[in-house]
């Protein structure tokens, strides 16, 4: 039995990047051998085991063959005869198809190290096309490594194009696609993810609503530069779509998490109001705060402000005075104390109206103070 470190851990060590999780490959062993050594089997799809002490994943070397549409359509063959080279050739990119033995020697049959040095994302073999998820993976790696100068090889982009026009991307589940989208959005240059998907025709298949100009990616770029959260980044991307029905359609298609869906919808609807916040009458401002439920959901309003700010930066603004104004308004409205009103004996609708009047009053004061500054 030979055990190798493979995949991302080898790649990232050579790039001098932090290695988060290590995948191991076991060549020359049977399932029984693994059981005998105390490994615990996991994963219904492939022969993968968990190390009894470290908890890391160990996979038996395998070959794979496409047997149906989409990500799940594979038959695999794992046996002690499968060699390291045979296992590595079925992998997506040359930079992900390197292995390291126990002595730290690099085993690199598909020249991943050279591609790493030349900053090229290149597929290992035509087997790349057997898994449509790889189109999204390559775009995600392009986004992650863009600051290091990586580009997708021309013939890999051509393969991605073929996969896109073949309709295979439609077979991806919402969950798998979203997982890639989510990870890509959190990279340092997420706009590159969208650009690569556009270049290979995948964007047209996955999010045709976004298939317009690159200009529209500027808010997302700002969101990444300002280290914003996932919901803010998603909302900034969705700003490229001007129609709320279409934003909802994209949200549904990928089953985006609720916080992302909500923020994208609210930003799509309310950004113009935020941009004019200082001109809004107290009643309009209060309606905006109520819509966001700033009393119970302060974080969501904060993310809304952030998304509006990123959009302003994308238009070339150097600052966004509305941010502090909106924050101040929310804090003033939140600060209205209901207890004195209850002490006055108010209940039900009368209490609601008195509370509203109090809030309008503090918002009017807020507006007056801001216009004096």
Q: Give the closest residue to 182 by CA, choosing from 121, 231, 244, 253.
A: 231
CB of 137 to ligand CTP, least distance (A): 6
- Which part of the chain contacts ligand CTP (CB under 6 A), choosing from 129-137, 257-265, 296-304, 335-343? 129-137
Which residue lies nearer to ligand CTP by CB, 112 or 268? 112
96 binds ligand CTP (CB under 6 A): yes
Which stretch in 89-97, 188-196, 215-223, 348-356 sits in contact with ligand CTP by CB under 6 A?
Answer: 89-97
Answer yes or no whether residue 91 interacts with ligand CTP by CB under 6 A.
yes
Binding region for ligand CTP (CB under 6 A) out of 45-53, 126-134, 159-167, 293-301: 126-134
Q: How far is the C-alpha of 288 from the C-alpha of 326, rounded, in Å?
A: 10
CA distance 19 to 229: 22
Q: Is residue 322 a contact residue for ligand CTP (CB under 6 A)?
A: no
Site string for ligand CTP, 204-233 (x = CB under 6 A): ------------------------------
Of 91-99, 159-167, 235-243, 324-332, which segment contacts ligand CTP by CB under 6 A?
Answer: 91-99
Q: Yes or no: say if 115 and 145 are a contact pair by the CB < 8 Å rule.
A: no
Per CB under 6 A, 123 contacts ligand CTP: no
| Assigned token pair, 291 | 């819509």
Question: Cβ 79 to ligand CTP, closest distance in Å?
Answer: 19
Please report how close the Cβ of residue 228 comes to ligand CTP at its closest, in angstroms. 21
Q: Which residues are annotated as a binding site for Mg(2+)?
A: 21, 23
**Which tokens sit at 259?**
């916080």
Q: How many CB atoms lie within 10 A of CB 335?
A: 10
Are 146 and 45 a contacting pair, CB within 8 Å? no
Closer to ligand CTP by Cβ: residue 42 or 350:
42
Residues 6+ apart with CB under 8 A from 115: 93, 94, 95, 121, 122, 153
Strand order in the sheet with 48-50: 40-42, 48-50, 57-60, 23-27, 2-6, 99-100, 106-107
Task: Annotate each residue in 132-151 with x if it binds ligand CTP (CB under 6 A) or - if it does not, as one string.
Answer: -xx--x--------------
Distance of closest approach, residue 8 Cβ to ligand CTP, in angstroms: 2
Q: Centre a 10 Å sphere on the Cβ of residue 293 and count the other Cβ atoms it contains.
A: 11
Exposed / middle / buried, residue 356 (Cβ in 10 Å: 0-12, 13-18, 19+): middle
Binding residue for ligand CTP, selected from 7, 132, 201, 219, defined by CB under 6 A: 7
What letter does residue 54 receive in the DSSP assignment?
A: T
With respect to ligand CTP, which residue has the nearer C-beta, 172 or 220? 172
> For the window 10-39, what string marks contact with ligand CTP as x by the rule CB under 6 A?
-------------x----------------
Q: CA nearest 368: which of 281, 308, 307?
A: 281
Binding-site residue numbers for ATP are 8, 11, 91, 137, 140
Q: Does 190 bind ligand CTP (CB under 6 A)?
A: no
Min dist. Cβ of residue 161 to ligand CTP (A):
18
- Count the neighbouring beta carbons within 10 Å of the beta carbon of residue 196: 26
CB 78 within 8 A of CB 111: no
Which residues define the annotated binding site for CTP?
Answer: 8, 11, 91, 137, 140
Q: Which residues contact residue 351 at a Cβ distance below 8 angstroms, ignoring those fewer than 6 apart?
A: 338, 341, 342
CB-nearest residue to ligand CTP: 8
Give yes or no for residue 131 binding ligand CTP (CB under 6 A): yes
Which of 236, 91, 254, 110 minimizes the C-alpha distance to 177? 254
Q: How far is the CB of 33 from ligand CTP (least distance, A)?
A: 22
Q: Which listed residue (8, 80, 212, 298) binds ligand CTP by CB under 6 A?
A: 8
As given in the structure block, the two tokens for residue 230 are 């996932």
> Cβ(187)–Cβ(144) under 8 Å?
yes
Reported as half-sphere exposure (CB side, CA atoms, 13 A), residue 309 has a value of: 23
| Span near ligand CTP by CB under 6 A; candidates 88-96, 286-294, 295-303, 323-331 | 88-96
Where on the chain is the footprint of ligand CTP (CB under 6 A)?
Answer: 7-8, 23, 91-92, 96-97, 131, 133-134, 137
């Amino acid at each position: 039995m030979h055990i190798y470190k493979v995949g991302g851990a080898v790649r990232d060590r050579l790039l001098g990047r932090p290695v988060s999780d290590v995948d191991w490959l076991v060549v020359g062993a049977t399932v029984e051998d693994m059981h005998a050594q105390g490994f615990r089997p996991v994963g219904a799809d492939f022969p993968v085991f968990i190390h009894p002490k470290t908890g890391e994943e160990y996979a038996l070397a395998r070959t794979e063959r496409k047997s149906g549409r989409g990500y799940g359509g594979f038959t695999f063959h794992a046996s002690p005869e499968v060699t390291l080279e045979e296992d590595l050739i079925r992998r997506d990119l040359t930079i992900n198809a390197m292995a390291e033995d126990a002595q730290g020697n690099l085993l690199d049959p598909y020249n991943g190290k050279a591609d790493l040095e030349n900053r090229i994302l290149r597929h290992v073999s035509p087997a790349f096309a057997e898994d449509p998820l790889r189109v999204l993976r390559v775009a995600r790696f392009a986004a992650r490594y863009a600051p290091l100068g990586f580009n997708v090889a021309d013939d890999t982009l051509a393969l991605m194009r073929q996969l896109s026009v073949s309709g295979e991307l439609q077979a991806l589940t919402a969950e798998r696609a979203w997982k890639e989208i989510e990870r890509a959005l959190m990279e340092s240059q997420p706009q590159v993810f969208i650009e690569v998907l556009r270049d290979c025709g995948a964007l047209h298949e996955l999010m045709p609503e976004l298939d317009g100009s690159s200009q529209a990616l500027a808010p997302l770029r700002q969101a990444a530069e300002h280290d914003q959260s996932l919901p803010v980044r998603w909302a900034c991307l969705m700003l490229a779509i001007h129609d709320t029905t279409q934003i909802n359609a994209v949200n549904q298609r990928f089953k985006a998490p609720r916080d992302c869906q909500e923020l994208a919808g609210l930003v799509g609807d309310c950004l113009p109001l935020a941009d004019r916040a200082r001109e809004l009458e107290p009643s309009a401002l209060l309606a905006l705060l109520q819509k966001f439920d700033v009393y119970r959901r302060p974080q969501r309003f904060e993310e809304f402000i952030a998304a509006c700010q990123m959009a302003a930066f994308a238009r070339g603004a150097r600052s966004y005075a509305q941010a502090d104004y909106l924050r101040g308004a929310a804090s003033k409205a939140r600060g209205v104390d209901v207890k004195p009103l209850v002490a006055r004996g108010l209940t039900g609708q009368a209490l609601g109206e008195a509370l509203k009047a109090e809030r309008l009053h503090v918002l009017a004061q807020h507006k007056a103070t801001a216009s004096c500054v």
